[in-house]
């Protein structure tokens, strides 16, 4: 088995518009998708099949990267040999894809928690400014932020960033 398409391959992996249909099909319809002759897929993916043939790719094996309820994308491997991937390759890839999906889920959760903490800090700082400026308690300051958010149709953290920026002269980065 000789791999042909490496990360960022300019003629296949680097061309998102060519690979998106094949990969979207693979992950939408199957947990694992294998085709032994990409050159025979001219009806389903004409542009992708041509691009694959141009660089000598014959086989593709794809696994959906998912956890319960969330699909992150696909893990795809290619070969210049027709029918290059056997059942052992499928099973080994399933194991790797499962671990990769768990790592992606953990990374996404960590990023979400970091953004939530940053948002909380931003709102807390804005509340503190309003408490000092208007001599109100923290609950009233929070209600003021919420009302301003609703009245201006802005997200609460955007209002908080505006209050901080108006006070300090620099707008903090918006978490996300």
Residues 98-151 have pLDDT tens digits of 999 999 999 999 998 998 888 999 999 999 999 999 999 999 999 999 999 999
Q: Categorize the per-residue pLDDT at 173 as very low, low, confident or very high, splitting at 50, 70 and 90.
A: confident
pTM of the entire predicted model = 0.61
CB contact set of 96 (below 8 Å; sequence gap of 6+): 63, 75
CATH of the domain at 127: 1.10.10.10
Q: Is residue 8 part of a domain?
A: no
Q: Categorize the per-residue pLDDT at 176 as very low, low, confident or very high, splitting at 50, 70 and 90.
A: low
Mean pLDDT of 33-52: 84
Q: Categorize the per-residue pLDDT at 152 as very low, low, confident or very high, splitting at 50, 70 and 90.
A: very high
Q: Which of 21-25, 85-89, 104-108 has the lowest mean pLDDT?
A: 21-25
Q: Which of 53-57, 66-70, 107-111, 145-149 has the lowest mean pLDDT?
A: 66-70
Contact between 41 and 50 under an 8 Å Cβ cutoff? The reply is no
Q: Is residue 102 part of a domain?
A: no
Count: domains in the chain? 2
Contact between 48 and 19 under an 8 Å Cβ cutoff? The reply is yes
CB contact set of 163 (below 8 Å; sequence gap of 6+): 126, 129, 130, 145
Q: Is residue 26 part of a domain?
A: yes
Which percentage of the chain shows pLDDT scores above 90?
47
Amino acid 119: pLDDT: 92
Q: Check pLDDT > 50 for residue 14.
A: no
CA distance 73 to 78: 16
Q: In terms of residue numbers, what domain contains 21? A: 16-85
CA distance 135 to 141: 9
Compute the mean pLDDT over every residue in the chain, rounded to the nearest whole number.
84
Do 114 and 76 lie in one domain? The reply is no
Do 81 and 20 lie in one domain? The reply is yes
């Amino acid at each position: 088995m000789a791999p042909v398409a490496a990360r960022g391959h300019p003629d296949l992996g680097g061309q998102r518009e060519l690979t998106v249909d094949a990969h979207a099909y693979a992950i939408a319809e199957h947990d694992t998708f294998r085709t032994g002759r990409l050159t025979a897929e001219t009806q389903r993916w004409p542009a992708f099949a041509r691009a694959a043939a141009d660089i000598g790719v014959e086989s593709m094996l794809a696994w959906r990267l998912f956890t319960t309820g969330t699909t992150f994308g696909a893990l795809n491997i290619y070969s210049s040999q027709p029918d290059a991937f056997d059942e052992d390759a499928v099973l080994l890839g399933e194991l790797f894809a499962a671990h990769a999906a768990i790592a992606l889920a953990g990374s996404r959760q960590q990023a979400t928690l970091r953004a939530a903490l940053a948002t909380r800090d931003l709102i807390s700082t804005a509340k503190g400014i309003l408490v000092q400026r208007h001599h109100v308690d923290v609950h009233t300051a929070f209600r003021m932020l919420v009302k301003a958010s609703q009245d201006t149709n802005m997200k609460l953290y955007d209002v908080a960033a505006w209050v901080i920026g108006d006070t300090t002269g620099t707008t903090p980065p918006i978490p996300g």
